[in-house]
Structure 1
């Protein structure tokens, strides 16, 4: 910890003062706190001291999530408002400073952190008098000076006593175990009218049936967590009067609906609840501080128009907009102001109806839903237009790394996707009007130079696969449910006469292609040099395929029409085992599955595959 302290911008004088400090001569105190740890705390700036001491409320070995802890610090007023910086970003900087000074350690479990036992002892030692933790089986007295209390209690009488501490700013009530015995439905024995100064209230996993109406009197409350209370079905309307509330955690509460006045919570930043519940909030646009809105259902009813999204400029993470058939014009769609939502990373635009009356208008609506150029992931589902929106291009979506086009039945031309320079994952499913995408997936290096994963599925009008063999970064290719495709030609590998085809491809799958008969390739070219997994299924007319690459680890052939499986192994099935080992060196194959290949009459010799672990052969009557 001293190393972490000394690297924090200290000068020579600071180093000398630490080296000559009398604290090195002090013995370990009665609480077991080492003097050097006290020195590390004393050298913290005031804002970090407050944040560190607050952690004494939690038990030893507690797993800290950065976001949760920052929200709590903000609720307590520990995070200063910095110029040109969001308060949460400032809080995250505080947390990182404490990590760098070794007050927290990574737990290597879902991005959590822990505090060493000795550091926790230090926090409890410093916080004594203002912070307190008690348990049912302890006779510990709560000092009158306590402002922050964490209690593990199930006795209603003791809960009543907590109401006497009217200067509390934090109250956390825990159950004995993570999963409370839900056969015991606990009434809440707390006189809220006496807790006027509460800012943080945590009643997680306490078996609550309801919150009392008097909770609306906690006018300073900024953080309310009642998650994991499975018996709660409704919340009191008085909750909507908590105008200072910033965080409301309702995770795993079996709520049937939210109070009608939720839009009054104008300072609410984080509402943690199921998507289907949050999408029902009327006038959600009034929650201008809201940072997370996973789902928004567009209705024609007042208070649920797409324009409600216009004022939500702080949205982070993911936003899914459904029922876009209820938007009637480009002008109406543009009121969502998606191009101003710079913090959104993922956007899903979804039509749930393909009524012919909306075919013309949906193109205009999609034009009005242009996202911010910082967007990283985009999915368009159920779009009923024929053409691509003008904003689906490199200049406007240069940061896009994932694109999904799904069930857009009339969309014909998707060539624009080939211009997206940083795209890594592309999924095109259920696009029956697309006849070719070769213009969008050119062999030229400027087209999709960073694409790593490609899925093409259920595209009945697509007669031939595009030229994919020269995509330099492609690692995963899945071709599914191409019911009309009859051949995979030379163009699939690329039109160059020499060089490697699919130089980085590791996984290749063909599935559900009942009319596929012909697979052509050019001899003399190196095919799939890095391929590790090959799967071909439900292709009953396929008679032949290219030779296997030495890199292959897994081969699965199911319901195919191959008659000459030995030809796959023609180059390795020589007259002597030395040819197998020395020339082709297929040491890597670990799994072979040959299932339902009724026309196959002979298998190759498999005895010289030293890495083989799984061999499955069935449904081969010949």
Structure 2
């Protein structure tokens, strides 16, 4: 494809300029050939943009481009080998002198042979390219003087995912679907509803809107979202359901083990399951129908699909058919995409005449409108730019895959060539695959797609590419990941990418059919991910014949080391080798011959060691070994001078070899294990890695460097000004060591304090910090100093876990940008007071140098603080502190059994607090006065006396398995306090459950609440909705619990009784006044 060629030409010209070509000319004995190559490449580049556009319809141009592309790949390989030779030291090129002269002479002769071989290949390449270039005149290509700039980036916008809801049609559709999902229906426990429409019309957007509506959340006890796609894996679907329901799969991978977990989690619970992008009814009939039968009455499954037949075969009781977006709603969506400020909106409105014509060309598809909005946003709000888009020939492009219109192709064509490469690479993964930003960027860099300009590192340039693709709506941020850390690709865009890469890339799900479809192609990239139980040998045999493969992704397959051994002898051009979660136990020694390899991933493999030859991979940039079983790294790893990431999360390695500090390109070092002795990497070495961005260190109790710090150790990490994320872990103390010292000697505690004070002093650039199992008696001085806000001005996330010996918390209120704080296992803390906020004693008063403490904190967790008794605010009314925690929205208190009270001033300062979780805080007396509180969860609180003055409370959950009657504080609050309460959830004993039946003692006290759900520990339940005067229960007088086929539409399950005394006719159309739904579809999970 021309896109690949244009990208290669740009990259090759850059590589030729960077290489010391005079030395290369002399080295390869090819004077003038490099300049000749540069001239030919510049000539060819002028016609590539037009060639790309015309190749889809013109087979001759397509053949010409394919031949040119093959030559470019060969050129890239040759230059790579040239670069390797040029970077070698003279002694290495000639062979290091040995005791015998013959050894030196033999090495020199091999060097001469190699240089002449490369030189001959360059001369042959020049002849090929000149002949190809000469034939370009036959096609009468249009000449473009300059390529599109790679770094062209649209205006910066908020990273928060924006809602795509515009106009009234989708709002009304969302309200109607919420109404249908939440109203009572007596036909059967679990009902299926469907949203049907063509690709890109907004099915997922509508489903998200319904899923996150306040009434939907209040109605269902469990809510789960599963992306299904064409190539779904049964075990993955079940695991996603388990995770969404708040359970754990325990590491199980098989359907037989996962199905009982799903059944147990959902039995007796009213749930909502969204199955997004369903292509076959078999996911319901063969996989999910039976495990979901135990759900409580009112459970729902919402399906999105392109095929209405699937909805019928799944016996959907209602099918919502999506309609194309009306013209003016489409215009509103386009304006929303291109204008983010008032002045920009005015400019856009002035272009309405052109804009409406552009929207009309998008055929009413929201996806097309959004991607075209990305094009317009990049080109600017000018009449000339918009007219150019309107007149673009891409609108009428023919030969595209079904469902892909000209707007999507235009959005692709508008990309600079390097971004095109990055976009197309995403098609190597399954539908709805969640791409994690860090690893996707590493793939791009390893393939040579990222061209860093100026002072940017390749990773920083890659992040710009990534965010630009998101801004253009070509990638979609996944709502469950913070700061756009994860993204997906819409299946229509993936279909376009597959089409454009069909001659060189293969993604395999069906081993037999997938390979036959491209058996004659010259493949460059092959991806086989989770093919289930299919036999892999046919495709493995075929891959061996594809010696031009540059990327090989084999994930969650039964590939063994025998397969790898055989394949690596053939695939000498590999840049990316991804073997995660395979059966590999070892790598062959000859892996060191893959001199082009940039990326090697052995995560989740059972491999126990790496061969010494790994040090010969001179171009290796990314070595990822997460959760493997490697016990030691070979010494040769320190020869990998181009290494950018060394990732060993959860690997039982004993230490890192000395010399890691020489790997000056490292920006990610995770899983670093501290060990003593000169043979091991020291903390002082780590401080020399000035380009680090992410550092994770474990077993810090072994560190001795700070006991007698040298100059480098004394500075710690302060000079590592690129460092953004640091994890500092000591080993957990043994379970049999009692407090207060937990088995640590005084000398050990003092030494670890010195290590943290000096050798681990972080830089001011730090964004995230995690400290685990620290066993000093005080926190590090850089965290406890009054100037902590100046030392760590950029810190946004802080996690302190199991710092068991520190009796006082640091003055964290002075951190100006802290957003998330989790403190767990601080068992020495008895009281928290003004020191936590950062108040200073002055003249008898507590004062702060800042008028606002914790100014940006939004989420606060305290957990596992078994001795914490008192939480004092420590700020008097006449202090100079204006406010503290003004943005706090979520507060979690878990397993703090001795805490008696919340600070009196908390409700006055934390006025944005909307959610509170109280669990295992048995001594707490009261929760009062939080005016914005909407959601409150209270678990196992035996001493609670008062919950009051919560005027905005909408959802209340009370849980205590021993509770046999409603607590007094709840009875009092229900009488007059909770006027806004929409839902009450209670978990208690079977005795409490029976007392809440119609004739029970507790019934009159809760019957006024709109929605009530009560459950005991045996999964017996009562579910009541006041709006329909309807209640359901599976509680039997004699404890029977029978089952009924979910397809029975003639009443309830046999194990469920309807409380007929509550029955009232259900109107056909209950369109009462509706509460405004929650519209924020961007959920960020930390």
1:307 equivalent to 2:684? Answer yes
Partner of 2:279: none
The CA deviation at 1:389 is 1.0
Output the CA distance in 1 between the equivalents of 2:897 and 2:501. 67
SS in 1 for 2:668: coil
Is 1:446 aligned to 2:446, yes or no? no
Which ranges in structure 2 are unaligned for 5 or more consecutive residues? 1-370, 529-533, 734-742, 840-845, 876-883, 993-1000, 1018-1086
Residue 85, structure 1, aligned to residue 456, structure 2:
yes
Q: Is the 8 A contact 1:376 1:400 kept in 2?
A: yes
1:331 aligns with 2:709: yes
The answer to whether the 8 Å contact 1:105/1:116 transfers is no
Q: Give 3-state SS (helix, strand or coil) of 2:893's partner.
A: strand
**C-alpha separation in 1, matches of 2:590 and 2:673:** 32
1:577 alignment partner in structure 2? none
Q: Structure 1 residues 7, 232: CA separation in 2 closer, same or farther (over 3 Å shift)?
A: same
Match of 1:271 in 2: 646
Identify the residue that residue 725 of structure 2 maps to in structure 1: 345
Q: CA 1:160–1:420 in structure 2 vs 1: closer, same or farther (change >3 Å)?
A: closer
Alignment of 1:29-40 (within 5 A): none
1:468-489 CA distance string (max 9 Å, x none): 8975444415264455x7x64x
**Structure 2 counterpart of 1:590:** 984
Pairing 1:613–2:1012 present: yes
Q: CA deviation at 1:82?
A: 0.7
* Maintained 8 Å contact 1:28/1:34: no
* Contact 1:388/1:411, CA 8 A, preserved across alignment: no
> What secondary structure does 2:958 align onto?
strand
- SS of 1:78's equivalent? coil
Q: 2:441 — aligned with what?
A: 70
Does 2:937 correspond to 1:530? Answer: no
Match of 2:871 in 1: 465
Which residue matches 2:918? Answer: 509
> Within 5 A, what are the aligned runs for 1:197-208?
197-203=573-579, 207-208=583-584
Give the alignment's TM-score, normalised by structure 1: 0.75
Residue of structure 1 equivalent to 2:671: 295
Is the 1:56–1:127 contact (alpha carbons within 8 Å) kept by the matching residues of 2? Answer: no
Deviations, residues 114-164 of structure 1 (Å, cap 9, x unaligned): 265576456645773x556786455567668x3614276967687567556
Partner of 1:576 in structure 2? none
| Structure (1/2) with the larger helix percentage | 2
Q: CA deviation at 1:79?
A: 1.9
- Mapped to 1, the partners of 2:392 and 2:832 lie a distance apart of 76
Aligned partners of 1:119, 1:330: CA distance in 2, in Å? 57
What do residues 538-572 of structure 1 show as CA deviations (whole Å, max 9, x unaligned)? 65xx4844547452633537599999954664576
| TM-score normalised to structure 2 length | 0.46
Q: Deviations over 1:78-122 (max 9, x none)?
A: 222310111122233334444555655567686333265576456
1:456–1:364 Cα change, 3 Å: same
Q: 1:9-24 counterparts in 2 under 5 A? A: 9=379
Question: Which residue is 2:812 aligned to?
Answer: 417
User: What secondary structure does 2:463 align onto?
Assistant: helix
User: Mind listing any 5+ residue stretches in structure 1 that lack a counterpart?
Assistant: 574-579
Instruction: Write the distance in 2 (CA, Å) between the matches of 1:193 and 1:417.
Output: 56
RMSD of aligned C-alpha atoms? 4.9
Specify the alignment match of 1:476 in structure 2: 891
Is the aligned partner of 1:384 residue 2:783? no
1:31 Cα deviation after fit: 10
**Residue pair 1:339, 1:373 contacting (<8 A) in 2 also:** no
Select which of 145, 150, 159 maps to 2:526. 150
**Aligned residue in 1 for 2:159:** none
Distance 1:48 1:520 in 2: 56
Q: Deviations over 1:566-606 (max 9, x none)?
A: 46645765xxxxxx5xx8636435024567999xxx97951
Q: Please give the per-residue CA displacement for 1:196-246, whole angstroms capped at 9, x wherever unaligned.
A: 433233455664453322111111211234455x45443322122112111
8 A Cα contact 1:162 1:190, kept in partner: no
Residue 212 (1) aligns with residue 588 (2):
yes
Q: Indicate the structure whose relative CO is greater, using CA pairs within 8 Å and at least 6 residues apart.
A: 2
Tell me the distance in 2 between the aligned counterparts of 1:260 and 1:22: 57
Distance 1:591 1:609, change over 3 A: farther
Name the counterpart of 1:239: 614
Q: Does the residue aligned with 1:354 lie in a helix, a strand or coil? A: coil
Gap change, CA 1:358 and 1:87, over 3 Å in 2: same
Deviates more, 1:97-106 or 1:294-303: 97-106
1:224 to 600, 603, 619: 600
